Chain A
């Protein structure tokens, strides 16, 4: 009986979706705004990577919301696992094998450099703050796996996290005050496309996001791995 009802309900929902979407042509652009970004993005924002110009310039405020969502999720995880007030246990852990240790020590600096490269060149090459931050967090994950006796300085992690978020908002407010009309408006010269120092405030925002996301995801791994009293 219940199965029949659920199948009937599913059929009704599927029919509703079908009726809504039946007239939409498949694969054709629904709006013109995408073409506008592709044609005008380089000239208006100075960023060679069109994805970055959309994510940070045209839709910068949405990105601030995205960063906030990530922050709330990491904060909630820390609160649930009791890491906010509790002390770390620091029980003695048996060291990892020599292969794992050497591999982690070898890869750690390269991953950090690659992560910093990805978010510094977010306006030129594929990638950006979120991807670079995730790469940095995976470098710290290697430290947790291979060199367990090394602890991450949690105070520094929290400061990096907070200052990254603060820098994003401050850059936005400076844009509101100096640049003119709106939050996160560009107040630096666009420069020459394809140069490292170009695209106005976009590299600055990506540096802030990269540091923040890296610190935050490292904090997530730390909260999960370390036992609290």
Chain B
């Protein structure tokens, strides 16, 4: 269990740093989506299924969709 959680946290941190570094905004948004997804799994491990559901449906799905729509309206590359 502790191994799985450490692995997830490691991937989550890597995704967060990647979202910060990426110049391609679409990749950055997908990395941020991965952070939310892993956060919801961690909430489930910490016996908070209510928060996990909210995080998965809002953080991972709807917020990502809003960002992708905004990127489509503006530009994909960060100057």
Q: Which residue of B52, B53, B54 has the most chain A CB atoms within 10 A of its CB atom? A: B53
Query: Hey, which chain A residues are within 8 Å of B11, CB to CB?
Result: none
Q: Which residue of A has the minimal Cβ distance to B44?
A: A126
Q: Which residue of A has the minimal Cβ distance to B66?
A: A224
Query: Hey, which chain B residues are within 8 Å of A137, CB to CB?
Result: 62
Does B57 count as interface, using CB distance less than 8 angstroms?
Answer: yes
- Does A141 contact B62, Cβ atoms closer than 8 Å? yes
Supposing A224-B69, A224-B70, A225-B69 touch, asked if A134 and B50 sit within 8 A by C-beta, the answer is no
Supposing A127-B50, A127-B53 touch, asked if A134 and B58 sit within 8 A by C-beta, the answer is yes
Does B13 count as interface, using CB distance less than 8 angstroms?
Answer: no
- Does A221 contact B53, Cβ atoms closer than 8 Å? no
**Selected contact of B53 from candidates A131, A141, A224, CB within 8 Å:** A131
Bound state CA distance, A220 and B67, in angstroms?
12
Query: Hey, which chain A residues are within 8 Å of B61, CB to CB?
Result: 134, 138, 141
What is the number of residues of chain A that contact chain B, defined by CB distance less than 8 Å? Answer: 18
Chain A interface mostly helix, strand, loop or mixed?
helix
Interface 1/0s, chain B 61-77, versus A by CB < 8 A?
11001100110000000
- Does B57 contact A138, Cβ atoms closer than 8 Å? yes
Bound state CA distance, A218 and B74, in angstroms?
22
Query: Hey, which chain A residues are within 8 Å of B66, CB to CB?
Result: 220-221, 224
- Does A134 contact B62, Cβ atoms closer than 8 Å? yes
Query: Hey, which chain A residues are within 8 Å of B58, CB to CB?
Result: 134
Does A124 count as interface, using CB distance less than 8 angstroms?
Answer: no
Supposing A131-B54, A134-B54 touch, asked if A126 and B65 sit within 8 A by C-beta, the answer is no
Q: Which residue of A has the minimal Cβ distance to B58?
A: A134
Q: Smallest Cβ distance from A141 to chain B, in angstroms?
A: 5
For window 174-208 of chain A, which residues contact chain B by CB distance below 8 Å?
Answer: none
Does A146 count as interface, using CB distance less than 8 angstroms?
Answer: no
Bound state CA distance, A212 and B57, in angstroms?
16
For window 122-151 of chain A, which residues contact chain B by CB distance below 8 Å?
Answer: 126-128, 130-131, 134-135, 137-138, 141
Does A211 count as interface, using CB distance less than 8 angstroms?
Answer: no
Q: Which residue of A has the minimal Cβ distance to B53?
A: A131
Residues of A whose CB lies within 8 Å of any CB of B are 49, 51, 118, 126-128, 130-131, 134-135, 137-138, 141, 217, 220-221, 224-225
A–B complex contacts, Cβ < 8 Å, 10 sampled: A49-B50, A126-B50, A126-B53, A130-B54, A131-B50, A131-B53, A134-B61, A138-B65, A221-B66, A224-B70
Sorted nearest first, the 8 A-B pairs with minimum C-beta distance are A126-B49, A134-B57, A131-B53, A138-B61, A224-B69, A51-B50, A126-B50, A134-B58
Given A118-B53, A134-B62, A220-B62, 6 other A-B contacts at CB below 8 A?
A51-B50, A130-B54, A131-B53, A141-B62, A221-B65, A221-B69
